Structure formats: C-alpha cells, structure tokens
Amino acid sequence: MNILVINAGSSSLKYQLYNMKTEDVLAKGRVERIGMDSSILTHEVDHQPEVREVSEILDHTTAIKKVLDMLTHKKFGVLRNIQDIQAVGHRVVHGGETFSRSVLVDQNVKLEIRKLFDLAPLHNPAHMMGIAAVEANLPDVPQAVVFDTAFHQTMPPSSFMYAIPTVLYRKHKIRRYGFHGTSHDYVSKSAAEFLERPLEELKLITCHIGNGASCAAILNGKSFDTSMGMTPLEGLMMGTRSGDLDPAVVPFTINKEELTLNEVNSMLNKHSGLLAISGISSDMREIVESMNEGNEKAKLAFEMYAYRIRKYIGAYIAAMDGVDAIIFTAGVGENSDALRKEVCKGLTFFGVRLEEQRNAVRSSQPRRITTDDSVVSVLVVPTNEELLIARDTYQLVLERPADEAESP
Ligand SMILES: Nc1ncnc2c1ncn2[C@@H]1O[C@H](COP(=O)(O)OP(=O)(O)O)[C@@H](O)[C@H]1O
Ligand SMILES: CC(=O)OP(=O)(O)O
Ligand SMILES: [Mg+2]
C-alpha cells in the first residue's frame, strides 16, 4: 500500500509518499508560498537531485494537484497513476479533548476539527484546506488525521489545568494540551527499544528541539506533563517564539507601546525567541557560528535557550520522582552537540555524565551520548513524525469495516 503523508500549513504543504510494505519513502517534497505570486514546488526522489518548479499556485487544491502531477511525472515521478495512492494521512496540530488517537476522516471528524479552529487559528484551518484539497483531487481515497495533541491526552488534571477560574475550562476548554505528541510518542518507543527495556517501566524526558520546541515527561509510556500549553507558544524558548513569560507582560506592553492584541500575539510568536535575543537569526546553526566568532548577543541567546531546557528537565525529574533517560530529538536536538553539552553541563547532580566524543558523533541512528557508568542515560534519537502518521493511517485503513472499504 502507498500512503501519502501531508503536513499542510497556511502557505505551505509538505509531503512524503511511503511504500508501507517496506516503509521506504518513495518521494518527498514541499510546496511553498501558496497563494503568493511565485510558488515553489521542491520534489525529491530517493537519491535523485531535487526538482524545483516555480509557478503560480493559488490555493491548496492546486497545490495537491501539482504534487500529484509530480508524483506521476514521466521523468521525476514514482507512480504510474494517482490510483496507486491508496490512502492519505494528515498531520493535524490541534485535536483538543475530542481526539486522543488518530481517526479516519468523515463528516463528523471534519466538523470537530472545525470546532477547534479557535484553539489553533494558525494551524487547523490550513489542515482542513489540505483535507479538502485531497477530497477534490482524490475523491475515493480514505484519509486519516493524526493529532499533535493526542499523545498528551493522558496527562492528569494536575498537569493540564491552569490555575485560573475553572469556568474558563468548562466554557472554553482553556487548559494545557501539549504538542509534538507524534514525535514524543515515536522517540520514547524508539528509546525503550534502544535501551532494551519495557517502555511501561521507564521514566523518560523527551526534548523535541526544532523550530518549535517542547519537553515531555513520559511516565510508564504515557505523557505525564509537557511544556507547550493551550497553544504551541508556552514553555521553552524557540526560534521565534518567546516560550514562558509573565502573562502581565502582555497588557503592560499593549499599554506602553500602544500595540494591539494581534500585534503582541505576532511579536510573541514570530519576533521573539532566538531571533529577538540574538538580533541575528532564528536558526541555531547561525547562532552557534556567531557565538563562536565572539558575538555576545548570540551567546546570551544560546545560553537562555539551553538554560530553559535544563530547567524543564529538572522540573520533570521532580515530577516523576526520577528519570532513566533523557532524549534529544528534532532539528536542533539531533544536530547540535554544542546545545546538548550546554544543557547537560548543569545536570551532573542527577548523575548525568556526558561523553564528549560520543556527543560529537553524527549519525541517523539512535545513540547514547553519556558514559557507560552515567546514572542517567542521555540519548539522541532521530524523530520521524511522517512515518508514524503513515503507520497510523495504514493501521486505520486495514481496520476499516469491509462495507466502508468498498465505498469510502
Ligand atoms: N547542524 C545543526 N546545528 C544546529 N541546529 C540545526 C542543525 N541542523 C538543523 N538545525 C536546526 O533545526 C531547526 C529545524 O528543526 P526541525 O525539527 O526540522 O523544525 P520544523 O520541523 O519545526 O521545521 C532549524 O531551525 C535549525 O536551527
Ligand atoms: C506545534 C508546533 O510547534 O509545530 P512546529 O514545531 O512544526 O512549529
Ligand atoms: Mg517540526
């Protein structure tokens, strides 16, 4: 079975085509600048150079059409025709309290995702456009949705409630949801396999440090707490997001700077984090480079970023009354040995002993970066959100009742 995995954003759409028999990625790519004057489609087939096509792609339906054209292209394609795609899996950022697992798309699921637009105004409407675009282009193909929030639905109320009037939870479902669940789920399972121990017996702290970043405390295989909140703004300092701050900063800034709520929201989401403190970039590679050249602002940004991760690790050790392993994953977590070293240097009290040479190794495999006698293991485990989406989609399609399978 071939499964197309889609991560639709408001102006972009990333895709990967899987052959589920082998779990090989047959092709992958992205469409950027949807709805703008010159959109770019970048397409990559295993070991082949990238194909870039610039044209006008006004909406998601056209974007999907272009992707399907590329997948069946005479020269760059990998499929004979689009009927060779048997299912589509979508990443959906917010599933609220409605979804604690992945589901097949039907009218009711679409309605529920729509109800959650308020909780994720930047993400969920874009995902719905992706679902509608697939319906328009592949009307007979079953679709599944895999939620970033689902894995965290096991958190107890003491982790997910905010200490504000409970009427706000009852009326508007204001609470911590947490995100990157697909990744926290995937790497915690991978880590247990690597450690050759049952996941149900482990206390793990997973640090998904990419463009967006979050930590999770995973107790006996279940999410117990996580740093992102009602939206992906809370918690760690990120590329362009502030992470935790005193909520009083918001009204104060609005008054002093005569800004609107929308402007402050945009400031906290798009103009804060590494970018704001360094004044250089939101990209950790550039921060480390500038820091090594002696740039003090880059150094401060780097130190703040690492310090926040270390504080969350400390908090989650207390939350779980111990930890067996700490896991780094995603773009920064997998690739920046400098960041991992900075985080771990404050964890010696807990028995973390980093092994510098192991930390410097580059590999796409899970690996240990602490000494053999370190009380707590620190691992680098590459994440693969798309593969988990493909696996969930595959499972759901296989489990479909026969009558539904005939007429999706
Ligand atoms: N070698 C590296 N060293 C440090 N940071 C890196 C390196 N490679 C990638 N990154 C960081 O990874 C980030 C992207 O992470 P990723 O998990 O791909 O994010 P997302 O999926 O949210 O776009 C980039 O912003 C970049 O800062
Ligand atoms: C939820 C979230 O922050 O996602 P991303 O890391 O893709 O921005
Ligand atoms: Mg990501």
335 lines ligand 1 (CB under 6 A): yes
pLDDT value of position 405: 67
Task: Given the residues 84, 148, 246, 392, select the one marked as catalytic.
Answer: 148
93 lines ligand 2 (CB under 6 A): yes
**End-to-end CA distance of the chain, in Å?**
16
Is the complex ipTM higher than 0.85?
yes
Confidence of residue 325 (pLDDT cuts 50, 70, 90): very high
Say if residues 298 and 281 touch (Cβ distance below 8 Å). no
User: Which residue lies with its CA nearest to atom 4 of ligand 2?
Assistant: 212
User: Which residue lies with its CA nearest to atom 26 of ligand 1?
Assistant: 283
pLDDT, tens digit (0-9, with 9 covering 90-100), for 97-150: 999 999 999 999 999 999 999 888 878 999 999 999 999 999 999 999 999 999
SS3 content of the chain, % helix, strand, coil (to 5): 40, 20, 40
pLDDT, tens digit (0-9, with 9 covering 90-100), for 196-251: 999 999 999 999 999 899 999 999 999 999 999 999 999 999 999 999 999 999 99
Give me ligand 2 centre to Cα 269, in Å: 11
| Mean pLDDT comparison of 2-11, 125-134, 388-397, highest-scoring range | 388-397
Instruction: Mention the CATH class of domain 198-385.
Output: alpha beta
Name the fold adopted by 2-147: Nucleotidyltransferase; domain 5 (3.30.420)
Catalytic residue flag (residue 372)? no
Rounded CA-CA distance 90/87 in Å is 10
| 2-147 and 198-385 in the same fold | yes
**Which atom in ligand 2 lies closest to the alpha carbon of residue 330?**
6
For residue 12, with 0-12 CB atoms within 10 Å meaning exposed, 13-18 middle and 19 or more buried, which class applies?
middle
The residue ranges of every structural domain in the chain are 2-147, 198-385
330 lines ligand 1 (CB under 6 A): yes
The mean pLDDT value for 32-57 works out to 86
Tell me, rounded to whole angstroms, the distance of Cα 1 from its chain centroid.
25
- DSSP H helical ranges for 78-218: 107-115, 124-137, 157-160, 167-172, 181-195
Q: Which residue has the tokens 């130190």?
A: 303
pLDDT, tens digit (0-9, with 9 covering 90-100), for 256-286: 999 999 999 999 999 999 999 999 999 999 9
Q: Give the residue, out of 7, 332, 389, with the most ligand 1 atoms within 8 A of its beta carbon, to mutate for a pocket test.
A: 332
What percent of the chain has a predicted confidence (pLDDT) above 70?
99
212 lines ligand 2 (CB under 6 A): yes
